Amino acid sequence: MSETPQELRYTDTHEWARTEPDGTVCVGISDFAQDALGDVVFIELPETGTEVAAGAEVAVIESVKAASDIYSPVSGEIVRVNDQLTDAPDLVNSEPYEGGWIFVVQPLSDDPNADLLTADQYQEFCETDSNEH
């Protein structure tokens, strides 16, 4: 059973979002997603300073099996990326919610979580999603 920390928010494209004390939003992919993808072997990171809209393709994760797009959960500007993933992309598998974070967005909105799923909603979504497959 995959982990879905309660304090995070989620998207229906399997990203998680954590609002930091400074108001920025840290983004990664869920435990459910990393398990479905399998071994992550390469990550194409966005450039800092890029303006992104919620739902826009921001990064690409390559597993052994396939390439998957990563979408920004919120609109704003990319202010940090996790350079560690260049040499250790497998952090996405081993620590999806910690060392495997992918990028940080300075959100435009004061309430970036407004349109995101809670942990319970996301879990329910995953159960439906996996039953369909």
- Our CB check for other proteins shows the closer of 12 and 39 to be 39
**CA separation for the pair 54, 29 (Å, rounded):** 15
Could you say which DSSP state residue 45 is in? P
- Minimum CB distance to other proteins smaller for 43 or for 117: 43
- How far apart, in whole angstroms, are the C-alpha atoms of residue 48 and residue 31? 25
Least distance between other proteins and beta carbon 99 (Å): 17
For other proteins, the binding residues (CB under 8 A) are: 38-39, 41-42, 44, 60, 62, 64-67, 93
Give the Cα separation of 2 and 107 in Å (integer). Answer: 28
Q: How far is residue 70's CA from residue 52's CA, in Å, rounded to a whole number?
A: 12
CB of 95 to other proteins, least distance (A): 15
Q: Which is nearer to other proteins, 79 or 99 (CB)?
A: 99
